[in-house]
Amino acid sequence: MEIQLWWLLALPAFFVLGWVAARIDIKHLVRESQALPRSYFRGLNFLLNEQPDKAIEAFLEAARVDTETIELHFALGSLFRRRGETDRAIRVHQNLVEREGLRPEQSLHALSELGQDYLKAGLLDRAEDIFVKLRGTARDEEALRFLLEIYQQEKEWGQAIATTAAMPGHADHLWQKDMAEFHCELAAGELLHGHFAEARQHLDEALRANRKCVRATILHGDLAWSEGDAEGAIEAWKRVEGQSPAYLALVATKLQEAHIKLGRDEQGLQLLRGYLERHSSLDLLDVVAQVEQEQRGPESAYKLVRDELRRNPTLLGLDRLLEAQVLMAPPERRGDLELVRNLIHAHTRRVARYRCDSCGFKARQFHWRCPACGGWETYPPKRTEEFDLTP
C-alpha cells in the first residue's frame, strides 16, 4: 500500500506537538513543586522512612506556611483521628470549618470530618448536631449513616427506625434486618415494663419488616408466657424451627418449662429430643441432656450423650459425657473421672465461644448485635468448635 503524502507531513507535526505538550507539563510540575514548602517534602521523606511522628510535625509546619493547602489539612485531620488523637483532629477540622473562602463542597467535607472526630471522641451530642445539619446536602447519605450509628450507640431505637426509613434503598429491603431488630429492642423494653400491648405492636412491626426475624418470634413467645399463656408461648417458640433451626437452642429451656407448667413433661422432652435428632447442636445437646438427667436419671442422660457423640464427635460433647459418667460412677472411681473431666473442661472453654461472622470477634455469651463491629444477627448460635468441624 502506497504511503499518502499527507501522512509524511502529519507525522513530524504530531511529534512536535507531543514534545511541546511534554515540556509544558514538566514546567507546570516544576512550578507546582517549587510552590510547595520544603517542610512538605521533609514530611514525605519521613513517611518513606517510616517515621510518622516526624512526618506529622513536618506536615503541620507546611500547613502553617501555606494556608492554601486544604487537602493537606484534611489528610492531617484524618491521620490524627485514625491514631486516636481526636483533640488534634478536632482542632484541624474546626479551623477548616471556620475558615472563609472555602468552596461549598470543601465546607461540607470539613463539617463531616469534624462530626466524625466528635463521634470518635464519644461526643455524641455534638456529632449528632453536625450530621443533622448535613441532612439535605450533598452529604445526606453519609450523614444518615453516621446518625444511625449514633442512635444505636445511644439506644434511641425510635430515632434509629426513622433514620433507617430515610436510607436510600430502604424500599428494596436493604435495611429490613436492622429495622426489625430496632423494633425488637423497643419490644423488649416494653415487655420488661409490663407494657404488653405496646410490645406486641413492635413485634408485629418487626415481622412486617422482616418475616424471618427469629428474635421477634422468640419475643412473641416471651410475651405470651408473661401473659400466662403457656400454650401460646409454646406455639410461638416452635415456629423458630421453620425460620432458622440453629436458634432452637435459645428456646429449648423455655419450651421445657412451658410443658412442665402444663403437666406435659414427657411431651416436652420428646419434642426436644426430636429437635436434637434433626438439628444437631452443642447448646441444644446441653439442654436436652440436662432435662434427660432431671427426668430420667444420669444413666439415660449418659446414653443420650453417648449416641450423640458417636454421631457428632466433639470435645464439648465429651465434656458432657464425662459429667454424666461422674454422676453414675461408684465413689472409688469418681475422683479419677472428675480429674479427667476437669482437664477436658478446662480445654473446652477455648472452643465454647460464639464467633461473629462479620469480624470474627469471639464471646462466651450469645449476642444479637456484635459488641465489636455492631452488626445485627452476625452471631450464629453455634460454638466455635462446631464451625471448626464443619467441612
pLDDT band of 199, cuts 50, 70, 90: very high
pLDDT classification of 60: cutoffs 50, 70, 90? low
Rounded Cα gap, residues 70 and 191, in angstroms: 52
Q: What dihedral do alpha carbons 101, 81, 368, 201 form, nearest 10°?
A: -30
Q: How far apart are CA 279 and CA 285, in angstroms?
A: 10
Instruction: Give the pLDDT mean for 133-160.
Output: 95
381 pLDDT band, cuts 50/70/90, is confident
Cα 101 versus chain centre, distance: 40
Q: How far apart are CA 288 and CA 388, in angstroms?
A: 23
Long-range contact pairs involving 100-104 (C-beta distance under 8 Å, separation at least 24): 102/70
More confident residue, 213 or 358: 213
Q: Are 227 and 251 in contact (CB under 8 A)?
A: no
Closest CA relative to residue 216, chosen from 88, 368, 345: 368
Is there a binding annotation on residue 184? no
Q: What percent of the chain stands above pLDDT 70?
A: 76
Per-residue confidence band for 125, with pLDDT thresholds at 50, 70 and 90: very high
- What number is the average pLDDT over the span 20-39? 45
- Over residues 8-28, the mean pLDDT reads 45
- List pLDDT tens digits, range 158-191: 999 999 988 886 555 568 899 999 999 999 999 9
pLDDT beyond 90 at 64: no
Distance CA 96, CA 87 (A): 15
The CATH code belonging to domain 167-243 is: 1.25.40.10
pLDDT digits (tens, 9 = 90+) for 75-85: 778 888 888 88
According to the annotation, is 359 in a ligand binding site? yes
* Cβ proximity of 187 and 206 under 8 Å: yes
Q: Is 213 annotated as a binding residue?
A: no
**Residue 105 in 3-state DSSP?**
helix
